[in-house]
Structure 1
Amino acid sequence: MKRKLITSFICVAILTACSNQDKKEGNTTVNKTIQLQADEVQLSAEQVKNAGIAIGKPESKGMHSAVNVNGVVDVPPENIFSVSIPMGGYINKMMLIPGMQVKKGAVLATAEDQEYIQLQQDYLTAKNKLKFSETDYNRQKALNQTKATSDKVFQVTESEFNHQKIQVKSLAEKLRFIGINPAMLTENNISKSIKIYAPISGYVTKVNVNTGKYVNPTDILFEVISPGALHVSLTVFEGDAANLKIGQQIVCSTTANPDKKYFAKIHLITPSIENDRTTSVHCDLENADRKLLPGTFLNASIALNHENVQAVPEEAIVKWENKFYVFADKGSNHYKMITVEPGVTMNGFTEVKTKITAENIVVKNAYAVLMKMKNGGEEGE
């Protein structure tokens, strides 16, 4: 604003000097200005050149209004993984700190306990018994077919065999649950420890244990988030929420680095208004990076009502006595002031809601023309 005022004063000085020179040389420009209408002005070619006045056409621009809101970087619940241990045990080894990047399947820690040994022992014992039960079942089945043994004896043998199959399958699933492959387990590789693996690729955000600590199945050991799943949670006031819709573009920036722009699209609008007359809007981030952490505060602008409108450069619009104007070019440095209603301003252009019928207008240093018009009017009175 200060630069515009300084530019305007310089232009006024140039035009005033030129006007005084015209008077001294008997130029007819002043007399011609006095004969014009109150909303018109005539400049000399030298005045136009010295003031840097430029002529152009109104343009059709894709523009939109915007709502400025605040929000935070968030992670959907389905992309936050809390890592726990299936069976209680002592943490034997762990080298994690918050912020570390891990890949899916990487070992986060190891735990040990006597229960792990007992479970493996039970499985191998049940598996061994199953072999005996299967052999006995096949033998009793053959004898029963020849009626060498009673149906009752065969039924007891069959029941024992089925029970043992269930026992082995149940114990096998328990082993898989704690990360031990039952197919690879033998009496030679029974282990007192189990490994805790990363469920996804991402970043460790919480570490709640340390080496030597006993943990229960209900304890949360680590928290891992998927970095590709970051989104933006915005707080929007009730009056603005009515103008939002799925798919609208969001431009965000952090307070730490306002020049870095992050882009997102509205994914979900919470269909309720809280007691503070706001609602939550969830947006998918399109260009998240490692510098953008969950919980980071964001300033955001939501684009509304995108459409093509008639627009002019910001410098083309002047304000006088609480009204806005542009100057139509009538030819031969003759300009006419036209009332307009400005709208949204974007990227150096301002929407003009009042349609401009003039083919050419002043698009640069329009304030210089305004000052010449008002100064010229006062001189002619």
Structure 2
Amino acid sequence: MKKVIQFASLMLFLCASCSNQQQDEKAALKEEKPQTKVDEEVVQLLPEQIKNSGVETGPFEKKEMHTALKVNGVVDVPPENMISISIPLGGYVKKMRLIPGMRVAKGSILATIEDQQYIQLQQDYLTAKSKLKFAEADYIRQKGLNATKATSDKLFQQAESEFSSQKILARSLAEKIRLIGLNPNALNENNISRAINIYAPISGYVTKVNVNTGKYVTSSDVLFELINPGALHVNLTVFENDASKLKEGQRIICTTNKHPEKKYLAVIHLITPNIGEDRTTSVHCDLKDADKDLLPGTFMNATIELNNNSVTAVPESAVVKWENKEYVFSAEGENKFRMRKVETGVINNGFVEIKSPLDVKSIVIKNAYAILMKMKNSEEEG
């Protein structure tokens, strides 16, 4: 038993000696190996890797780029293209077949209204017109007699006053006749009507119908509302801090949530010179290429082009993001690429403004992310 214990102790000693010897050898090799500093910002690719990844290089470019302001708004109709229909004299709705969304042409009949006061108005006009003829004839007669002193000045003045009063009455009643849509010149005792028609003053769409057949309406009631969508504009809401950056004539690119890929061009037409309680102001813009997809009330996303400057720019595909910072890769020769931190600015039409000064001749302008992935994968493998 004693011999077994001695043998085991001997084996443990030999193993420990071997282990210490191996560690000493590794340490010696490590000391003999020269220490080389690795540049972690540079990566080298094989020609095959560059070809397969589609990496392309090119120079910086000078571009005319504008600062952009992003705001929101809605499609609206100018007040002159939105009509509220009412009648100057009340009456009962005899006929009406409109529904919201229906298209109507200018001059088409929207509704027929009837009431006894229309009959009375026409009667009064025709009576006044008849009396006017008598008053005119009497005035002419009295004028001739007065010229020869065959009648007194008083009778002539009475005839003149009556003629003048009848002219005023007939003219005022004629205007009331026109106000309800009738032609006084075509009116006679044979075509007196108890009903009048309401005609569409513009071509457009019916947006509101507030009456129904048989309802009595007054002059203060709005019967229908029409809009002409041929002159749509965008009403944008801009915050107080950005309002001073705007001016008439600036271009705007608008999109809808339904079709964000479709862009509409607009131009600032009017800036409301007032800041509301919500610290915003309204900016009215003319749409240059509206179509049937745009309806009043549609929500719009808008980008306002504020100014143009000549800046250094690269394609968006040249800029990569890593750990919340932005970089480009400069071409260093021999298929080597250096990762350089940059400060970016405006993004327009696929190009990014580079604010940082970079003293390089060529950068990666396409598939820069392929180089970034190669660099970071190599660091993890190392």
In the alignment, structure 1 residue 104 sits paired with structure 2 residue 109: no
Residue of structure 1 in register with 2:57 after alignment: 55
Of 354, 362, 367, the match for 1:352 = 354
SS where residue 345 of structure 2 aligns? strand
Q: Deviations over 1:91-114 (max 9, x none)?
A: 111111111112222211111111
Q: Tell me the TM-score normalised to structure 2 length.
A: 0.81
**Within 2, Cα distance between the matches of 1:372 and 1:290?**
49
Q: CA deviation at 1:345?
A: 2.6
Q: In structure 2, what is the equivalent of residue 119 of structure 1?
A: 121
The alpha-carbon deviation at position 370 of structure 1 amounts to: 4.8
How many aligned residue pairs are there?
Answer: 347
How do residues 208-223 of structure 1 correspond to structure 2 at under 5 angstroms? 208-223=210-225
Q: 1:138 to 1:353 in 2, by over 3 A?
A: same
What is the identity, as a one-letter code, of the residue corresponding to 1:269?
I
CA 1:38–1:262: 2 relative to 1, 3 Å: closer
Q: SS state of the match for residue 233, structure 1?
A: strand
Give CA deviations for 1:254-282 in whole Å, capped at 9, x if unaligned. 33333333332222222232233222222
What secondary structure sits across from 2:136 in the alignment?
Answer: helix
Distance in 2 (CA, whole Å) between partners of 1:323 and 1:256 is 33
Deviations, residues 163-216 of structure 1 (Å, cap 9, x unaligned): 111111111111111111111111111111111111222211111111111111
Query: Cα–Cα, structure 1 residues 131 and 338, in superposed 2: closer, same or farther, change >3 Å?
Result: same
Q: CA deviation at 1:39?
A: 5.0
1:279 maps to what in 2?
A: 281
Cα distance between partner residues in 2 of 1:180 and 1:163: 23
C-alpha separation in 2, matches of 1:134 and 1:361: 97
Match of 1:252 among 240, 244, 254: 254
Give the corresponding residue for 1:266.
268
Please list the CA deviations of residues 66-86 of structure 1 after superposition, one character each: whole Å capped at 9, or x if unmatched: 333222222233322111111
**CA 1:324–1:86: 2 relative to 1, 3 Å:** closer
Once structures 1 and 2 are overlaid, which stretch shifts more, 259-268 or 154-163? 259-268
Name structure 2 gaps, 5 residues minimum: 1-35
The secondary structure found in structure 2 opposite 1:326 is strand
- Post-superposition Cα deviations, 1:204-252, rounded to whole Å, max 9, x if no partner, equal 1111111111111111111111212322222222233232222222222
Corresponding residue number in structure 1 for 2:240? 238
Q: What letter is aligned with 2:80? A: E
- Counterparts of 1:255 and 1:334, CA distance in 2: 44
Residue of structure 2 in register with 1:309 after alignment: 311
Cα pair 1:251 1:262 within 8 Å, conserved: yes
SS of 1:120 mapped into structure 2: helix
For 2:293 and 2:88, the matched residues in 1 are separated by 34
**CA separation of 1:355 and 1:124: change in aligned 2, threshold 3 A:** same
Seen in structure 2, the aligned counterparts of structure 1 residues 310 and 51 have a Cα distance that, compared at 3 Å, is same
Identity of aligned residues (%): 66
For the Cα contact (< 8 Å) 1:58–1:356, is it kept in 2?
Answer: no
Q: For the residues of structure 1 that align with 2:270 and 2:60, how far apart are their CA atoms?
A: 38
Amino acid aligned to 2:138: D
Alignment of 1:109-148 (within 5 A): 109-148=111-150
Instruction: Write the distance in 1 (CA, Å) between the matches of 2:324 and 2:110.
Output: 67
* Structure 1 position 376, deviation (Å): 7.0
CA distance in 1, matches of 2:101, 2:76: 16
Instruction: Say if 2:206 is the partner of 1:204.
Output: yes
- 1:228 partnered with 2:252: no
Pair 1:378–1:147, CA change in 2 (3 A): closer
Distance 2:202 2:98 in 1: 15
Helix, strand or coil at the partner of 2:160: helix
SS of the equivalent of 1:301 reads strand
Distance 1:311 1:151, change over 3 A: same
- Aligned to 2:135, the other structure's residue is in SS state helix
Q: Is the alpha carbon distance of 1:211 and 1:266 closer, same or farther for their aligned partners in structure 2, counting shifts above 3 Å? A: same
The TM-score, its normalising length taken from structure 1, stands at: 0.82
Match of 2:16 in 1: none
Q: Which moved more, 1:345-354 or 1:218-227?
A: 345-354
What CA distance in whole angstroms lies between the structure 2 residues aligned with 1:379 and 1:194?
A: 90
Question: What is the CA–CA distance in structure 2 between the aligned matches of 1:94 and 1:82, rounded to whole Å?
Answer: 16
Aligned equivalents of 2:231 and 2:375: distance in 1?
Answer: 59
Amino acid aligned to 1:226: N
What's the counterpart of residue 299 of structure 1?
301
Distance 1:312 1:156 in 2: 93
Task: Establish whether residue 66 from structure 1 lines up as the match of residue 65 from structure 2.
Answer: no
